[in-house]
Amino acid sequence: MALDMAEAAVAQALWPAGPVSFRASLPATAMAIEGATLITVLRHGAVQGRPFVYRGRQDDPLSELGWKQMAAVIVASPPFAAIASSPLQRCQAFAQHLAERHGLPLHVSPAFQEMAFGEWEGLTPEQATQRHPAEHAVFRASAGTVAAPGGENLVEVRQRVRAGWEAWLADARGGQRLLVTHAGVMRALLIELLGLPASHIYRIALPEAAHFQVSLLAGEAPILLSLNSSCEAT
C-alpha cells in the first residue's frame, strides 16, 4: 500500500530524518526474561471518516491526528524486530511506513481485520437502531455474541484472530514485535490470551491508539505487561 502525498508529508514531519528514537518503556525485569517474546498491540489512530460509527471493514484512512497518535506510542516503545497489520489502510499505511523506514518484515493478514458489522457499517448506533430496532437491541445486549445482519459475531472474530496470531508467532523465539490492528481484534486477543470473560470485555476502554503489551514464553501463561499506558499527541 503506497502512501498518498498527504500521508507521506505527515509521516515525514513525524520522522524527518534517521531512525525513530525508541525508548524502552517496559520494566527491565520483564524485558530480561530469556526467550520471551514481547508483543505490543496497537489500535489505529483517528481516521478521516465519520466518528462514532460501526466502521468495521469500511476502509477510511488515518487523519493527521491519527498518524501523530500512533507515532506517540511508537517513540515510547522498545525497538521492534517484526510488524504485523490488518490490511485496512487505517492500520496498514502506518505499519508499512514504519516497516519500510526500519527495514523490518511486515506481515499483513486478514485475520487482524476489524469485526465485520454487515448492514450497519458506516452507521451510528442510533441509525442502526432506527433500521433494525429489535436486532440492534439484541446485539447490544449480547456483548457481541450475536452478529449484526450480514456481519460477524465475537466467537467468529476470536477464532480467526487466534489462528492469525498463532501463525504469525509460530517462529517467535524472543525479541519485540508490533501488531497494528483494531479494537475488536484487541478485545478478542485479551479474551483468548488472558481468559477474560467475553461478557465483560467491553468494559475495557480502547480509544484511538490504545495499546497493550504482552509477554509470551513457551510453556507459560501469557503475561499482560501494560494496558493503555499514557501517550498523547496534539
pTM value > 0.85: yes
What are the pLDDT digits (tens) for 206-231?
Answer: 999 999 999 999 889 999 999 986 55
Q: What pLDDT, on a 0 to 100 scale, did the predictor assign at position 40?
A: 96
pLDDT digits (tens, 9 = 90+) for 99-142: 999 999 999 999 999 999 999 999 999 999 999 999 999 999 99
DSSP state of 207: -
pLDDT above 70: residue 184? yes
Closest of 144, 231, 230, 150 to residue 190, by C-alpha: 144
CB 196 within 8 A of CB 129: no
pLDDT of residue 140: 94
The number of angstroms, rounded, from the C-alpha of 34 to the middle of its chain's C-alpha atoms is: 26
Q: By percentage, how much of the chain surpasses pLDDT 90?
A: 77
Report the share of the chain in percent with pLDDT over 70: 84
28-116+153-227 architecture in CATH? 3-Layer(aba) Sandwich (3.40)
pLDDT of residue 231: 52
According to the model, what pLDDT value does residue 22 have? 43
How far CA 53 is from CA of 12, 67, 124, 229, in Å, comes to 30, 20, 4, 25
> Please, where are the H alpha helices in the chain?
5-14, 28-31, 64-74, 89-102, 125-131, 133-141, 154-168, 183-194
* Contact predicate 94/65, CB 8 Å: no
